Amino acid sequence: MGIFGTSSPFDQDVERATSENNTSEEWGLILEICDRAGANANNARDCLRAVLRRLGHADPHVQMHAATLLDACVSNCGRLFHLEVASRDFEAEFRRLVARAQPTVAQKLRAMLRKWAEGEFRSDPQLDLIPSLHAKLCTEAGERPTTAPVAAADAQAASAAEKREQEELARAIALSLRETAAAA
C-alpha cells in the first residue's frame, strides 16, 4: 500500500467520519478534519493516508463515505492537501482503488477525479498529475477525456450570474438617477 500503509493521527477521526454505522455524512466532523488537514504539510499527508486506507475498506458503504471525505478535503484543505493529492504515490494508490472498487464506488471516484482535473488542479503546473491521471484513466476505459460538458455548464452558470449582476447594476443606477433627480 506504499507510504499510505502506516498509522496516522487522523485514523480515529477518519474512521468515525466514514463508519459503516453512519447513515449519512458527518459534516461537522468532516469539516473539522478538513481544518486540521489544511494546517500543515504533515497533517495533509497524514489525513490523506487515513482516508486512502478507508477507501480500501471491504465495505462499499465505508468507501463511499471515504470518497465524500476525500472530496471535501480537496475542496476545503487548500494547496498543501492538493500537493499531496498530486503525487505519484497518490496516483498509484488511486489507480489501485479504482480498479478494485465496486462499480458505484469506482464511478464516484472517477467523477471526483474529473471534477478536480477540470477545477482546482487544471491550471497549476505543480498539480498537473491529476488532469494527466484523469486523461489516462479515460483513455484506458475507452472514453474520451473531455472537459466540454463541465465547461459549458460553468459558462452557462457564469453567464446567468453575469446577467443577474448586470440587471442589479442597472436597477441600482436607475434608482440612483431617480434619487438624484428627486433631490434636484
Mean pLDDT per 10-residue interval, the chain, length 184 residues:
64 96 94 96 96 96 97 96 96 95 95 93 91 89 59 58 75 79 78
CA 36 to chain centre: 16
Cell numbers given for 63: 468507501
List the CATH code of the domain at 2-145: 1.25.40.90
Structure confidence at residue 148 (pLDDT): 44
Measured CA distances, 28 to 24, 35, 54, 67, 148 (Å) = 12, 11, 19, 16, 34
pTM for this structure? 0.74
Asked if residues 60 and 105 have their Cβ atoms less than 8 Å apart, the reply is: yes
Asked if residues 113 and 137 have their Cβ atoms less than 8 Å apart, the reply is: yes
